[in-house]
Amino acid sequence: MTANHVDNQTDPVPPVPHASGGPALGGHADWPANRGRRFFTAQDADPHALDGERIAVIGYGHLGRPFALNLRDSLSPRASVLTVGNVPDEYAGQARVDGFTVLSIGQAVASADVVLILLPDEVIPEVFVADIAPSLSPGAAIVFASGYNLAYGLIAPVPEIDVLLLAPRMAGENARQRFLHSEGFFAYVSVEQDASGKAWRRLLGLAGAVGILQAGAIELDARREADLDLFIEQTMGALVGLSIMTAFTVGVDAGIPPEAMVMEMYMSQEMEMVFRSFREEGFYRASSVHGPTALYGGFVRTMQFLPLDLGGLFRQVLAEIQTGQFARQFQAERKAGYPMLRQAEALSSGDPASQPIGRAETSVRTMLKSS
């Protein structure tokens, strides 16, 4: 394996505790701090790693469909067999339309050596117990696209199987488009359990075949991947959304046209360029190109907001994630029929004309189209 290291530390991959009787897979307290620094690219994967393997994609949704299509385009049909496992619903129908053989989840798992579990995170525990675990063959591999279930002890794989993490940092549809344009997309990868002795070979073979290694993959265990993912979406993500809604309301109340507000915040693409310059120039250096007024104003207001102690709130959020409190809360939300999630969905999928922000966006789009 020729993986580059992000720094000079070259510790071997540490042994992974088994789920049965031991700590939850990926438990982090006892893991070396330097784990999660290796960076893998296309040269680290054997293009024949999956030859002779039967692969099942369980779930044909936002990520399942792009991954299944990418795998089919990458793998030789003579060398690997690819099936989709799904409950009978519209996703199964789409998989058939796309030309896949669709089996029940149990049948697909039973007939596979490598099983990609691409179901909603909070659904996985019950499907795993009912349909996946009883059908797995010894020596098979299960692959997750998120560390959530492994991190918070929601499933307990037996020691006789490989447990792999392949967690993309790209929305499913973009993963397909970037694959088609040979651009790839980043992901975190880890071997959580190597029962077959070929877990890394399988994992990197899959990462190459779905298009990840064209961009690259960083090694990060499931626990840290899940903590990181939830932490950023529940702190930075939540505050970006709250800032946009608050600035819109305050600005419009003070007489700034709603169209100008959304143009300023994101419709003009200026903010996209700001994030792009974080990536290309660096977070601090990027601020210097906005001129002294923006730099001075941003600096003094940041100082003014510091007493809000966001750090304290962020630490509290992270603690609730790390102790598994958030995962328990989300599983309870599912059991209760998703009352909060339904409210969030109503907000995000409602008629744009029913929201002042939506109306302002529509009117800017109309303006831009007619220009």
Stretch in the footprint of ligand NAI (CB under 6 A) among 1-9, 168-176, 232-240, 323-331: 168-176
* Residue 59 interacts with ligand NAI (CB under 6 A): yes or no: yes
Q: What is the DSSP letter of 43?
A: G
Give the residue, chosen from 62, 72, 290, 334, that forms a contact with ligand NAI under the rule CB under 6 A: 62
Q: How far is the CB of 90 from ligand NAI (least distance, A)?
A: 8
Instruction: Enumerate residues 198-237 that contact ligand NAI by CB under 6 A.
Output: none
* Residue 145 interacts with ligand NAI (CB under 6 A): yes or no: yes
* Residue 63 interacts with ligand NAI (CB under 6 A): yes or no: yes
Of residues 87 and 158, the one with the C-beta less far from ligand NAI: 87
The residues that bridge with 163 in the sheet, in sequence order, are: 142, 193
Whether 298 and 287 have beta carbons less than 8 Å apart is answered as: yes
Q: How far is the CB of 258 from ligand NAI (least distance, A)?
A: 30
Q: How far is the CB of 110 from ligand NAI (least distance, A)?
A: 16
Whether 115 and 81 have beta carbons less than 8 Å apart is answered as: no
Q: How far is the CB of 38 from ligand NAI (least distance, A)?
A: 21
Burial of 10 (0-12, 13-18, 19+ CB in 10 A): exposed
Q: How far is the CB of 133 from ligand NAI (least distance, A)?
A: 14
Sign of CA dihedral 83, 87, 88, 92: negative
Q: How far is the CB of 233 from ligand NAI (least distance, A)?
A: 11
Q: How far is the CB of 339 from ligand NAI (least distance, A)?
A: 17
Q: How far is the CB of 237 from ligand NAI (least distance, A)?
A: 14
b vs e for 260-285, b when ≥16 Cβ sit within 10 Å of the residue's Cβ?
ebbbebebeeeeeeeeebeeeeeeee
* Residue 358 interacts with ligand NAI (CB under 6 A): yes or no: no
Q: How far is the CB of 145 from ligand NAI (least distance, A)?
A: 4
Q: Which of 155, 163, 97 is nearest to 124 (CA)?
A: 155
* Residue 188 interacts with ligand NAI (CB under 6 A): yes or no: no
Of residues 45 and 119, the one with the C-beta less far from ligand NAI: 119
Of residues 59 and 157, the one with the C-beta less far from ligand NAI: 59
Whether 156 and 128 have beta carbons less than 8 Å apart is answered as: no
State the residue for tokens 């990181």.
Answer: 228
Give me the residue whose beta carbon is nearest to ligand NAI.
61
Give the residue, chosen from 27, 47, 61, 153, that forms a contact with ligand NAI under the rule CB under 6 A: 61
Instruction: Enumerate residues 108-127 that contact ligand NAI by CB under 6 A.
Output: 118-121, 123, 127
Q: Which of 350, 352, 347, 361 is nearest to 265 (CA)?
A: 361
Q: How far is the CB of 118 from ligand NAI (least distance, A)?
A: 4
H helices present in 111-262, as ranges: 124-127, 148-151, 172-180, 199-210, 222-234, 236-253, 258-262
Cα separation of the two ends of the chain: 54
Give the residue, chosen from 23, 159, 172, 324, that forms a contact with ligand NAI under the rule CB under 6 A: 172
Q: What is the DSSP letter of 159?
A: T
Of residues 217 and 364, the one with the C-beta less far from ligand NAI: 217
State the residue for tokens 């250096």.
Answer: 285
Of residues 16 and 155, the one with the C-beta less far from ligand NAI: 155
The residues that bridge with 371 in the sheet, in sequence order, are: none
Q: What backbone torsions phi and psi does residue 39 show, to the nearest 5 degrees?
A: -120, 125
Whether 241 and 336 have beta carbons less than 8 Å apart is answered as: no
Of residues 120 and 257, the one with the C-beta less far from ligand NAI: 120
Of residues 68 and 195, the one with the C-beta less far from ligand NAI: 68
* Residue 106 interacts with ligand NAI (CB under 6 A): yes or no: no
Q: Walk across the sheet containing 81-85 and list its strands.
A: 4-5, 38-40, 216-219, 186-193, 162-168, 141-144, 114-117, 54-58, 81-85, 102-103
* Residue 86 interacts with ligand NAI (CB under 6 A): yes or no: yes
Residues at the interface with ligand NAI (CB under 6 A): 59-64, 86-87, 89, 91, 118-121, 123, 127, 145-146, 168, 171-172
